[in-house]
Amino acid sequence: MKNLKIFVVSDSVGETGEQVVKAAATQFRPNFDGIIIRRFPHISNDDHIKNIVEIAAMQGAIIVYTLVEKQKRQLMYNLCQQNNIDCIDLLGPIIHLFSNRLEEFPLEEPGIVHKLDDDYFQKVEAIEFAVKYDDGRDPRGILLSDVVLIGVSRTSKTPLSQYLAHKRYKVANVPIVPEVEPPEELFQVDPRKCFGLVISPEKLNVIRKQRLIALGLSDDAIYAKRDRIEREIAHFYKVVEKLGCQVIDVTNKAVEETANDIIERLERLKK
């Protein structure tokens, strides 16, 4: 039984090349018997390529490469030809085809796919965080969050948390109710990342009545009474004063507008 050694060479992590090699290898040796795959990731200069070719020549290896820079692909091909090494360029032909069809030059920037993957997983993690620590259900999330939102009921804390999560911010939100003491974690958090959301009593009265009707309840419940709303907002301001956090009036703001306001304030802190 013949053996086979394959070098997978990449200017990124090399996962793409390795998966293609494994997919082909399993058609001959499902358990990879006698097949050795060695990955060479993050190849950043010509000397790396030359050294790999020298090793491949000594060991009789095949080289499979995923290099986004045309110059490095050409160097690899030329060196393999000079040393009688079998090689396969996985990216070059498809990049060339796309370039012709799109009539554009490629970026030739390694690792873009993984950068996009990282962004995606950060977003998923932030969304899961917002769900887990929504509506004060677990105060432990307050100290783990990038942003903390507080406010009385129906001030858009949950949709705002989700919107910010899609921007990869980990958000916890806490309802402020006169009858319930705020969690102690709220007083331990950096007030600069805590935002109080307030809304006019008139607007909140309308929103709460609509909410009650949508639930099939009477719109004259205490929850929607004007005096109850005013008492909640007064209590909210007392909590805000203790926390020293910023307050944003969301009365006539869309969720996106409030989110952008918060993001701008957070970005200013970094400067």
Predicted local confidence at residue 140, as pLDDT: 93
Strand order in the sheet with 246-249: 171-175, 147-151, 194-198, 246-249
Predicted local confidence at residue 117, as pLDDT: 72
Predicted local confidence at residue 121, as pLDDT: 86
pLDDT, tens only, 52-105: 999 999 999 999 999 999 999 999 999 999 999 999 999 999 999 999 999 999
Mean pLDDT split into 10-residue runs, the chain, 271 residues: 95 92 95 95 94 97 96 97 97 95 92 76 92 94 96 96 95 96 96 97 95 91 95 97 97 95 92 70
Domains in the chain, ordered, with CATH? 4-110 (3.40.50.2300), 115-270 (3.40.50)
Q: Does 66 carry a binding-site annotation? A: no
Q: Which long-range contacts (CB under 8 A, 24 or more apart) does 18-26 make?
A: 20/64, 20/90, 21/64
Predicted local confidence at residue 109, as pLDDT: 87
Q: Does 258 carry a binding-site annotation? A: no
Predicted local confidence at residue 65, as pLDDT: 97
Q: Does 99 carry a binding-site annotation? A: no
Does the CA dihedral 117-118-122-123 come out positive or negative?
Answer: negative
Predicted local confidence at residue 270, as pLDDT: 81
Predicted local confidence at residue 224, as pLDDT: 94
Q: Does 153 carry a binding-site annotation? A: yes
The candidate with the shortest Cα–Cα distance to 233, out of 220, 250, 216, is: 250
Q: What is the dihedral of CA 197, 201, 207, 208, to 10 degrees?
A: 100
Q: Does 255 carry a binding-site annotation? A: no
Q: What is the dihedral of CA 71, 73, 74, 79, to 10 degrees?
A: 120
Residue 184 DSSP label: G
Q: Does 156 carry a binding-site annotation? A: yes
Q: Does 218 carry a binding-site annotation? A: no
Rounded CA separation 185/142 (Å): 6
Chain-centroid distance, C-alpha 90? 28
Q: Does 17 carry a binding-site annotation? A: no
pTM of the predicted model as reported, rounded to 2 decimal places: 0.64
pLDDT, tens only, 30-47: 999 999 999 999 998 999
